[in-house]
Structure 1
């Protein structure tokens, strides 16, 4: 019967095998110890600063959602006011129509309501009676038409009231959404402040300097392409005039701005209306390659366009970065660029 035992290793004595195993064990121990010995020294504030950056980014995204919800709420408030004004005008019209119908009914009542044949027999002047009867017929026709008009206006007013009721309900939902986004922004900013305050003094000072490292003086623009239009040039001048103004989330000037608020305000100074949020602003014109950017073009950042800036030439943008960092100039490549829009 064949044996299935594993043959012993040839060419190695017992002592040699012990030597090899001892060497292997020593090598493994050295390998396990190596990562600890060779690891880069930990930077105590690095993770904290990264968390602050992440929280500011999340707060900015929530701010854009707040801006969108707030803009929708403003539109709804205007629509509700318009609907309520229309209801008031409609009710006044119905009241006037009822008054006119009342006048017609009074005229008929004053005629006596006698059967026309009997009235003709009793009339001392048939011709006068016939004239009066014709006038009453016209009154009846007017009354019938006025009644139909009144019914139509009443139906229209009921529809207006129903629509206003729907708008009011939608406005309440929008207000709730605005409040929710506001709480999110405030929560993210509060957490960022707590994290920043917990950093060692040196790291906190380093982050503070870095958050204000953007230039407040426009770098040389020699050789830079001119603005794509006179409106774009005017928008650039407006944005430059905001340099140094504070970042205020949800604000669109003139004393403070968030990123999309600065773009909206700057182009408004040039007579151009832009949507409120950065996601909408990226589609407010036609997109061009970054290599063809001209002053006044809008540069959207991150895949979701949650941040936006204005190109001013020579590889520089002006923007409202985040809380604690005022409106400033920065390199166009400060973050991943998702699109460049020419308004």
Structure 2
């Protein structure tokens, strides 16, 4: 007769392992359920737009530092030129005194005043000159001129040294701003790379829908420019529709926002400061959109980091942002601050 044996019970160790495995599986399933989903096209676009705006803010700061660097470089070059010319004049003056000393030495009567000068301390000489009976009026004037020239050269050298240090600090700040801009743009590109080709195409189509890319597709109305200068600046900018936005660029083939406006007005014979914030003070302010005329500058955002040219009928012509070209766009697509008539 077959025996009926009870089934073998699982060991305590095996039960523990099975329980732990089941718990881990449940935990992983829960984590997967709670994990953030892949960012949507809308989320990516929002973040990319934010990064582009931050990059443009940094670009205008970069432009300001770059303009300061250029100014300092000119000042340093000018001071160094003055020092070089002054040193040459000083050398000629010393030659004159040296000729006097040589003549006196050959005659056996080296003037004490000249001896003292040749010791390398003309300032001390001038303090004691009144006590030297042998000093002639001409020699006194020569030595006084040399001493004055030495003092001026010392001042110019000190000023140049200070400007050179300022220039070094400015270059460092410029490099930091450049790295910040590149970092923002690289992060934006990483986000764009997470989208599918179809999603990127849809985003580009949405971006293009914000703007008209040619004169024939944009109704600028019948507004008349307030001046020939404004009209000429707007015409110059219109000739650049389709040119790419490149941070730090001032034309003629690529632009950032303030680069376009400054280039356009330069074609009209008017020099503008480099940054949007400085250009905001380049003329008379116009507080309302209704007061704008074609060719007026238009400032956007609270910190005034973006600028364009009013084109008429509620339309602005500008270099929008990285990845976009110079184009017309509704003035209402950005937070309007005020206009400026140059």
Give, in angstroms, the shift of residue 139 of structure 1.
Answer: 8.3
Cα distance between partner residues in 1 of 2:157 and 2:239: 47
Q: Is the 8 A contact 1:212 1:325 kept in 2?
A: no
1:233 aligns with 2:240: no
Please give the secondary structure, in 1, of the residue aligned with 2:333: coil
Cα distance per residue 1:1-47 (max 9 Å; x no partner): xxxxxxxxxxxxxxxxxxxxxxxxxxxxxxxxxxxxxxxxx992211
Within a 5 Å distance, the mapping from 1:173-212 to structure 2 comes to 173-212=169-208
**Equivalent residue number for residue 340 of structure 1:** 339
Please give the secondary structure, in 2, of the residue aligned with 1:211: helix
Please give the secondary structure, in 1, of the residue aligned with 2:212: coil
Please give the secondary structure, in 2, of the residue aligned with 1:175: helix
Q: 2:212 aligns with which of 211, 215, 233?
A: 215
**Equivalent residue number for residue 95 of structure 1:** 91
Please give the secondary structure, in 2, of the residue aligned with 1:333: helix
**Equivalent residue number for residue 274 of structure 1:** 272
Larger of the two Rg values belongs to structure: 1
Q: Could you tell me which runs of 5 or more consecutive residues in structure 2 were left unpaired when the two chains were aligned.
A: 1-37, 112-132
**Equivalent residue number for residue 284 of structure 2:** 286
Cα distance between partner residues in 1 of 2:306 and 2:79: 36
Cα distance between partner residues in 2 of 1:106 and 1:211: 83
Please give the secondary structure, in 1, of the residue aligned with 2:208: coil
Within a 5 Å distance, the mapping from 1:1-343 to structure 2 comes to 44-113=40-109, 140-213=136-209, 214-218=211-215, 219-224=218-223, 226-288=224-286, 289-343=288-342
Q: Is the 8 A contact 2:220 2:315 kept in 1?
A: no
Cα distance between partner residues in 2 of 1:230 and 1:342: 12
- Pair 1:114–1:160, CA change in 2 (3 A): closer
Give, in angstroms, the shift of residue 110 of structure 1.
Answer: 4.4
Please give the secondary structure, in 1, of the residue aligned with 2:328: strand
Q: Is the 8 A contact 1:284 1:341 kept in 2?
A: yes
Please give the secondary structure, in 2, of the residue aligned with 1:317: strand
Cα distance between partner residues in 2 of 1:209 and 1:318: 19
Q: Is the 8 A contact 1:45 1:200 kept in 2?
A: no
Cα distance between partner residues in 1 of 2:294 and 2:135: 72
**Equivalent residue number for residue 34 of structure 1:** none
Output the aligned Cα RMSD.
2.0
Give, in angstroms, the shift of residue 210 of structure 1.
Answer: 2.7
**Equivalent residue number for residue 3 of structure 2:** none
Please give the secondary structure, in 2, of the residue aligned with 1:251: coil
TM-score (norm 2): 0.78
Q: Structure 1 residues 102-111 or 156-165, which shifts more? A: 102-111
Q: Is the 8 A contact 1:65 1:181 kept in 2?
A: yes
Give, in angstroms, the shift of residue 103 of structure 1.
Answer: 2.0
Cα distance between partner residues in 2 of 1:138 and 1:287: 71
Give, in angstroms, the shift of residue 341 of structure 1.
Answer: 0.6
TM-score (norm 1): 0.78
- Pair 1:193–1:102, CA change in 2 (3 A): same
